[in-house]
Amino acid sequence: MYSTTVYLYQQKQQVLLPDTSGAYFQRRWQPVYAKKLKVNLGVDNVILFEFINQDQKPVNISGSTITFRMISTDGNELLVAKDLNVLSATHGRAKVVLTSEDLDSIESQTASWSLERASGDLFETVFTDAYSSGRGQVDIVDSVYPNFVESTILQLPAPVKQNTPAADGNRNHTSMAYTASNTLTTFQLDFDNFTGNLKAQGSDSQIGPWYDIGSQTVYVNQDSRDYINVDGRHNWVRFEINQYGYAASAVAQVSNGDVSNITLNGGGVEWYGAGSPNVEITGLGTGATATATASANAVSTISLVTSGQGYITVPTVKLNRGEITQILFR
pLDDT tens-digit readout, 52-73: 887 788 889 999 999 999 999 8
Same domain flag for 193 and 241: yes
pLDDT band at 169 (very low <50, low <70, confident <90, very high): low
pLDDT band at 9 (very low <50, low <70, confident <90, very high): low
**Domain containing residue 219:** 149-330
Q: Which of the listed residues 97, 120, 141 is the one where a domain comes to its end?
A: 141
Assess contact for 96 and 29: CB atoms under 8 A: no
Bigger pLDDT: 305 or 165? 305
Distance from CA of residue 31 to its chain's centroid?
44
**Is residue 317 helix, strand or coil?**
strand
Q: Domain count for the chain, please give it.
A: 2
pLDDT tens across 255-291, in order? 999 999 999 999 998 888 788 899 999 999 999 999 9
End-to-end CA distance of the chain: 37
Is pLDDT of 166 > 60?
no
Q: What is the mean pLDDT of the chain?
A: 86
Is pLDDT of 77 > 70?
yes
pTM higher than 0.85 for the full model?
Answer: no
Mean pLDDT (whole number) for 209-238: 94
Same domain flag for 196 and 301: yes
Bigger pLDDT: 219 or 14? 219
pLDDT band at 163 (very low <50, low <70, confident <90, very high): very low
30 part of a folded domain: yes
Is pLDDT of 96 > 90?
yes
Backbone phi, psi, residue 101, to 5°? -70, -35
Q: What is the distance between the alpha carbons of residues 86 and 79, in angstroms, rounded to a whole number?
A: 22
Same domain flag for 196 and 299: yes
Q: Residue 265: left (phi > 0), alpha (psi -120 to 50), or beta?
A: alpha
5 part of a folded domain: no
Same domain flag for 162 and 299: yes
128 part of a folded domain: yes
The confidence score (pLDDT) of residue 165 equals 47
The confidence score (pLDDT) of residue 126 equals 84
pLDDT over 90 for what percent of the chain? 58
Cβ neighbours of residue 214 closer than 8 Å, sequence gap 6 or more: 199, 200, 230, 231
Is pLDDT of 78 > 90?
yes
Same domain flag for 98 and 216: no
Mean pLDDT (whole number) for 162-172: 57
